[in-house]
Amino acid sequence: MGSASFLLQARPTVCWHSVSVSLSRTHVEDSLLRLISLLIGGCLSQASISGCLSQASISGKSLIRERDLFFSSRSVVARTNLRRLENMKSWERIANAALAGLTLAPLVVKVDPNLNVILTACLTVYVGCYRSVKPTPPTETMSNEHAMRFPFVGSAMLLSLFLLFKFLSKDLVNAVLTCYFFVLGIFALSATLLPTIKRYLPKHWNDDLIVWHFPYFHSLEIEFTRSHIVAAIPGTFFCAWYATKKHWLANNILGLSFSIQGIEMLSLGSFKTGAILLAGLFVYDIFWVFFTPVMVSVAKSFDAPIKLLFPTADLARPFSMLGLGDIVIPGNTRN
The amino acid sitting at 21 is: V
Residue 5 has pLDDT above 60, yes or no: no
The reply to whether 84 falls in a domain is no
Residue 14 has pLDDT above 60, yes or no: no
**Bridge pairing between strands 210-214 and 217-224:** antiparallel
Would you say 313 and 322 are in contact if contact means Cβ atoms under 8 Å apart?
Answer: no
Same domain, 108 and 64: no
- Gap between the Cα atoms of 38 and 281, Å rounded: 81
The reply to whether 36 falls in a domain is yes
Would you say 263 and 132 are in contact if contact means Cβ atoms under 8 Å apart?
Answer: yes
pLDDT, residue 269, reads: 74
| Res. 249 pLDDT band, cuts 50 70 90 | very high
Same domain, 211 and 167: yes
| Residue spans of alpha helices (H) in the chain | 2-9, 27-41, 46-104, 113-132, 144-167, 170-198, 203-207, 226-245, 248-265, 271-290, 294-301, 325-332
Same domain, 57 and 136: no
pLDDT, residue 87, reads: 72
The reply to whether 19 falls in a domain is no
Same domain, 251 and 144: yes
Same domain, 56 and 161: no
Estimate the crossing angle of helix 248-265 against helix 325-332, to 10 degrees: 20
Same domain, 60 and 148: no
- Burial profile 179-204: b = 16 or more Cβ within 10 angstroms, e = fewer: eebeebbbbbbbbbbbeebbeeeeee
The reply to whether 149 falls in a domain is yes
The amino acid sitting at 262 is: G
The reply to whether 104 falls in a domain is yes
Same domain, 184 and 55: no
The reply to whether 9 falls in a domain is no
pLDDT, residue 90, reads: 81
Distances (CA, A) of 53 to 21, 23, 26, 204: 22, 17, 14, 57
Residue 152 has pLDDT above 90, yes or no: yes
Mapped to the 3 state alphabet, what secondary structure does 4-32 carry?
HHHHHHCCCEEEECCEEEECCCCHHHHHH
Same domain, 103 and 64: no
pLDDT, residue 3, reads: 40
pLDDT, residue 21, reads: 40
Same domain, 156 and 206: yes
Same domain, 36 and 118: no
The reply to whether 309 falls in a domain is yes
Domains: count for the chain: 2
- Gap between the Cα atoms of 187 and 181, Å rounded: 10
Same domain, 96 and 36: no
Residue 44 has pLDDT above 70, yes or no: no
Q: Which domain holds residue 64?
A: 26-41+50-70
| Res. 55 pLDDT band, cuts 50 70 90 | low
Residues carrying an active site annotation = 285, 326
The reply to whether 79 falls in a domain is no
Would you say 30 and 58 are in contact if contact means Cβ atoms under 8 Å apart?
Answer: no
Nearest-5° Cα angle at 256, 251 to 261? 130
- Gap between the Cα atoms of 30 and 24, Å rounded: 9
pLDDT tens by residue, 181-234: 999 999 999 999 998 888 888 888 888 888 887 777 777 778 888 898 999 999
Same domain, 145 and 56: no
pLDDT, residue 68, reads: 62
Q: Which of 211-215, 256-260, 331-335 has the highest mean pLDDT?
A: 256-260
